[in-house]
């Protein structure tokens, strides 16, 4: 592929706020072969995504925020439909001006909008599915749209996500699984005796620190984790729990408030520590004696790979894509979702088995991490890109509505 004929990809994201899918998007952009591809991102101005794009030197075009969620309320569905129309109208204009070879929609909502916005153009739209579709009439409509649009290709982040997306429709070879990948170089094996988070929190010698890292929302099962911790904290005084992260969306602020109230009501304020969002996640994981992902549903669970790379053992629920990462009793431990008693028993048991934790951690580092590296992810993604047909008129330049990213120094 010559420099004069780079393939242009327009990435579409329905929100400007950065959570799991947006972190994957930024990883894709960092790893894109600039000699072969040029990228432009369409995203709203709300949140930190455009700031991150500027830091990475990635140009972007601003689109309205797409306000749409699964709901049964007809009044909300009407307002969401209006939001879709606004976003699709702007997308169609931007895509026509940007003239990409194909569109990579980084979320389901972006995929829906981009597919409708490109009707009549023949342009390929790649849906990157980071979510497990719930049982809802709208899920049936979403599947039907993707299936009937022969221009649509789907990349799912796990086998579980792919199965849930396809439902009973015969998508055939149009649905591909490319597992997310972690930059393992950023998550080195922990140094014996070093635990900076324990020191920061002022934990006594001999403490056993359990960490939960990620977005603070109901899907992560944090309320149930607190229920389990409250069952054992009096008889296991060496246990401490650190919850690392923040709410991303406004409706999640109430969930955080409920968690704080639960901690205070159960007398756990000196044993449960909310740190907020942190940038030193590797240091956090290296300080943890056990990483817990107690999700009600989880499309993949990249945080588990990051913890394994640091040598931190993991305990997670048997949902979604998690069993594709964790083999129970060999590379970590799995429990059923929503079973606070089983979780409590497993936390207490593992806190007394440092030898077993060390053994399982070493197996996970050796056998799991290489399969889910950023290099594996990018290799498979770029191979997939190479199979997509080119659509762009090479004479057309990037739209003047695009804001050029400039790398921070």
pLDDT, tens digit, for every residue of 337-383?
999 999 999 999 999 999 999 999 999 999 999 999 999 999 999 99
- Residue 242's pLDDT is 98
What pTM was estimated for this model as a whole? Answer: 0.90
201 has a pLDDT exceeding 90: yes
How many Å apart are CA 243 and CA 213, to the nearest integer? 6
Closest C-alpha to 239, from 280, 211, 267: 211
Going along the chain from its start, the domains and CATH numbers come out as 3-181+373-387 (3.40.50.2000), 184-371 (3.40.50.2000)
172: tokens are: 């055939």
User: Quick check: 134 pLDDT over 70?
Assistant: yes
% of the chain exceeding 90 in pLDDT: 83
Residue 9's closest CA among 98, 90, 97, 89? 98
pLDDT at 409: 38
* The pLDDT of residue 80: 72
The pLDDT of residue 312 is 98
What is the mean predicted confidence (pLDDT) over 32-60? 95
298-347 pLDDT tens trace: 999 999 999 999 999 999 999 999 999 999 999 999 999 999 999 999 99
Q: Tell me, letter by letter, the H, E, C secondary structure of the chain.
A: CCHHHCEEEEEECCCCCCCHHHHHHHHHHHCCCCCCEEEEEEECCCCCHHHHHHHHCCCEEECCCCCCCCCCCHHHHHHHHHHHHHHHHHHHHHHHHHCCCEEEECCHHHHHHHHHHCCCCCCEEEEEECCCCCCCHHHHHHHHHHHHCCCEEEEECCHHHHHHHHCCCCCHHHEEECCCCECHHHCCCCCCCCCHHHHHHCCCCCCEEEEEECCCCHHHCHHHHHHHHHHHCCCCCCEEEEEECCCCCCHHHHHHHHHHHHHHHCCCCCCEEEEECCCCHHHHHHHCCEEEECCCCCCCCHHHHHHHHHCCCEEEECCCCHHHCCCECCCEEEECCCCHHHHHHHHHHHCCCHHHHHHHHHHHHHHCHHHHEHHHHHHHHHHHHHHCCCCCCCCCCCCCCCECCCCCC
Q: What's the whole-number average pLDDT of the chain? A: 92
pLDDT in tens, 188-197: 999 987 899 9
pLDDT computed for residue 384 by the predictor: 96
């Amino acid at each position: 592929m010559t420099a004069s004929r780079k393939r242009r990809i327009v990435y579409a994201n329905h929100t400007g706020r950065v959570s799991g899918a947006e972190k994957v998007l930024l990883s894709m952009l960092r790893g894109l072969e600039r000699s072969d591809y040029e990228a432009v991102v369409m995203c709203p101005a709300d949140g930190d995504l455009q700031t991150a794009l500027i830091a990475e030197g990635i140009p972007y075009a601003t689109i309205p925020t797409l306000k749409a969620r699964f709901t049964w309320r007809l009044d909300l569905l009407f307002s969401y439909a209006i939001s879709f129309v606004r976003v699709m109208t702007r997308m169609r204009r931007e895509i026509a001006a940007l003239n990409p070879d194909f569109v990579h929609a980084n979320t389901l909502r972006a995929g829906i909008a981009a597919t409708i916005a490109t009707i009549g153009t023949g342009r390929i739209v790649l849906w990157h599915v980071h979510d497990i579709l719930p049982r809802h009439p709208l899920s049936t409509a979403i599947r039907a749209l993707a299936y009937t649009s022969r221009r649509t290709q789907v990349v799912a982040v796990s086998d579980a996500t792919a199965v849930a997306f396809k439902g009973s429709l015969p998508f055939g070879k149009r649905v591909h699984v490319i597992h997310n990948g972690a930059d393992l170089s950023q998550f080195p094996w922990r140094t014996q005796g070093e635990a900076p988070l324990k020191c920061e929190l002022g934990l006594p010698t001999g403490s056993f620190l359990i960490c939960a890292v990620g977005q603070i929302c109901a899907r992560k099962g944090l309320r149930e984790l607190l229920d389990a911790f409250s069952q054992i904290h009096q008889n296991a005084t060496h246990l401490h729990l650190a919850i690392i992260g923040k709410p991303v969306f406004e409706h999640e602020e109430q969930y955080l408030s409920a968690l704080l109230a639960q901690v205070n009501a159960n007398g756990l304020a000196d044993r449960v520590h909310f740190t907020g969002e942190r940038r030193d996640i590797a240091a956090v994981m290296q300080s943890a004696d056990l990483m817990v992902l107690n999700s009600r549903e989880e499309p993949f669970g990249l945080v588990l790979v990051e913890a394994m790379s640091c040598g931190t053992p993991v305990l997670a629920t048997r949902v979604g894509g998690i069993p594709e990462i964790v083999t129970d009793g060999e590379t970590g431990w799995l429990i059923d979702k929503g079973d606070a008693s089983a979780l409590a028993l497993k936390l207490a048991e593992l806190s007394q088995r440092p030898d077993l934790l060390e053994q399982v951690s070493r197996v996970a580092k050796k056998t799991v991490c290489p399969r889910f590296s950023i290099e594996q992810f990018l290799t498979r993604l770029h191979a997939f890109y190479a199979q997509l047909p080119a659509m762009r008129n090479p004479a057309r330049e990037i739209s003047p509505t695009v804001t050029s990213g400039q790398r921070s120094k």
